[in-house]
Structure 1
Amino acid sequence: MLRYSIAKLAAGKQAKGTTALMQPVPLRRAAELEFEKALKTVLKGIAAEVRESIIPVYAFDLQQRRAERRLTGDGANRSWFQRLGTVVNLLGRRATEMVERVLRLEAKRYDDGFMAEAKRVLGIDLRAVVRAEDLEDQIEAAIARSVSLITSMSADMVKRVEQVVIENSLAGNSVKTLKSKLVEQFGIGERKAQLIARDQMSKFHADLDRLRQTQAGITEYDWATSHDERVRPRHQRLDGKRYKWGEPTGAEEGLPPGKPILCRCRARAVIVF
């Protein structure tokens, strides 16, 4: 990675002893939704497999029990869920590919925005020093985090499906009741996917903020909130405070903007001349 001093590049355009602020590149809502779509692809695939292979077996088993006048059963057979495991692995790979595409497109958009802001505020062109390959490690790290989260979310959803099917089978509940219980669980899964997408895209932008700013020799930043009713009180108190990269902040665990869970705050770069 090529390191440079953005202050020296703009030295002739700014008075010595002054400071300039660069606004962070806005987080694109569309990218967050695409990330969420990738996660929900897994959930929809699991739901489809449940409809195609598990519910019919459940219905057949229930029909047999009723014919034999047995009100309750012995529980679902583990063989009912064998296909589901294979399907989940395929869905995970597809979701990972979708997430990678989102992250790479967002990294490119971020760099374009960072250079445009440097041009607007400082009047300098950073195309010679800002290179796409600089972000490769950050992209790979974000992909690795995403794979872990996709795997965890998938395993949790499969576990929820198995528990619901087994509990309803033991109770001898109708297919309608089973479907209703499954809808509840998939609703929980979708809400979790929304939170993961929001959190991971915020963290990705926070990582890009740190990398591009420190690469440019920017050592300080101002904590900037989203200035809306969703900002948590603790972060409201941090708004406008100045920190150095690498030093603890007043946020949870001393983390920088965007790194605490579901934090939408950003680091506004401070260039000192």
Structure 2
Amino acid sequence: MRYDLRALARARGIRRKGITFRPIDPTAVLAGELDAIARDIIAAAETEIRESLLPVYEPRPSITQDDAANGIANALAGVGSAMSRLVLGIGPKVRNWATKVEGWHRPKFAAGVKAGTGADIAANLQSADAGDQVRASADWAASLIQGLTDDLRKKVADLTWGAYANQTPRAELAAQLQAVLNISRKRADFIARDQTTKLAANLDRLRQQEAGIAEYKWRHSGKVHFRPEHLAREGKIFRWDTPPPGGHPGTEPNCGCRAQAYVNLDD
């Protein structure tokens, strides 16, 4: 605990029980910035496939088999290189994204506390306090994008060589590769939404615990596809030091539930 929110609120004459603050829901814009980092890599692969790989692919080459295979190998290497060049530069971009999420979350939390208790805690909130969480979240997101890139590179190579061995027409291979690219885009979108939610959830925990807030109300995400056990927790009180099965809100994959700060000031 860095400061005692209960003491600050009581100093203002607040003695109410069960004060809750507005849940802080991460925006699609924040997730979109992380999504764009991965999509740039996928777009580079798509360009290389269209401009370099497909033009040299010929299941029934008029040139020698060795020359045809070499052309495909060189083109695949070009696809991999285009992706690798961008992957090497994602570290600072992902860290900037994580820093931006923290900078967005901090005043939201301060505003919620002020609305609920009248206490102005803005000066108590420092970006440096969330430094470890920001770095950890950035490293995790970057590793997931790296994994997506590695998987895409492998799938493109496997499909291409398999098509060449089976004399699959170029148009059919092009359709197969486009399907793989589309799947990668969906995966990038999932990573971006999930990682943004997780970082926001971890910042909820950090900021609440800094203020000495020990409890929270579980707020269900309202998603169409939800975990029944999460819906059953709606409105119930949990403690940060006693996580429920599966963890706190936002912990499990694609969980959009929130931890709404809960404070008693009359005890």
Q: TM-score, normalised by structure 2?
A: 0.90
User: More displaced, 141-150 or 101-110?
Assistant: 101-110
Which of 136, 145, 157 matches 1:141? 136
Which of 188, 193, 198 matches 2:188? 193
For 1:77 and 1:105, locate their aligned partners in 2 and report how far apart those are by CA, in whole Å. 42
Change (3 A) 1:19 1:256: same
**Contact between 2:218 and 2:236, CA under 8 Å: does it hold in 1?**
yes
Q: Indicate the residue corresponding to 1:55 in structure 2.
A: 54
Change (3 A) 1:123 1:15: closer
Is residue 37 from structure 1 mapped to residue 32 from structure 2 by the alignment? no
Is residue 205 from structure 1 mapped to residue 203 from structure 2 by the alignment? no
- 4+ long deviations beyond 6 Å: 73-76
Q: Indicate the residue corresponding to 1:7 in structure 2.
A: 6
1:79-158 matches, cutoff 5 A: 79-158=74-153
For 1:241 and 1:75, locate their aligned partners in 2 and report how far apart those are by CA, in whole Å. 63
For 2:26 and 2:73, locate their aligned partners in 1 and report how far apart those are by CA, in whole Å. 44
For 1:228 and 1:179, locate their aligned partners in 2 and report how far apart those are by CA, in whole Å. 35
**Contact between 2:107 and 2:122, CA under 8 Å: does it hold in 1?**
no
Amino acid at match of 2:62: Q
Q: Indicate the residue corresponding to 1:19 in structure 2.
A: 18
For 2:248 and 2:70, locate their aligned partners in 1 and report how far apart those are by CA, in whole Å. 49
Q: Indicate the residue corresponding to 2:259 in structure 1.
A: 267
**Contact between 2:14 and 2:117, CA under 8 Å: does it hold in 1?**
no
Q: 1:228: Cα distance to partner?
A: 4.6
Structure 2 residue runs of 5 or longer lacking an equivalent are none
Amino acid at match of 1:108: G
Amino acid at match of 1:48: T
Q: Indicate the residue corresponding to 2:229 in structure 1.
A: 234
Q: Indicate the residue corresponding to 2:172 in structure 1.
A: 177
User: More displaced, 87-96 or 35-44?
Assistant: 87-96
**Contact between 1:213 and 1:269, CA under 8 Å: does it hold in 2?**
yes
**Contact between 2:221 and 2:255, CA under 8 Å: does it hold in 1?**
no
Give the number of aligned pairs.
263
For 1:20 and 1:89, locate their aligned partners in 2 and report how far apart those are by CA, in whole Å. 50
Q: 1:206: Cα distance to partner?
A: 0.9
Amino acid at match of 1:257: P
SS of corresponding position for 1:243: strand
**Contact between 1:76 and 1:170, CA under 8 Å: does it hold in 2?**
no
Which of 132, 154, 178 matches 1:159? 154
Amino acid at match of 1:139: V
Amino acid at match of 1:246: D
SS of corresponding position for 1:128: helix
Change (3 A) 1:32 1:172: same
For 1:267 and 1:14, locate their aligned partners in 2 and report how far apart those are by CA, in whole Å. 26
Q: TM-score, normalised by structure 1?
A: 0.88
Instruction: Give the percent of matched residue pairs that are identical in Structure 1 and Structure 2.
Output: 27
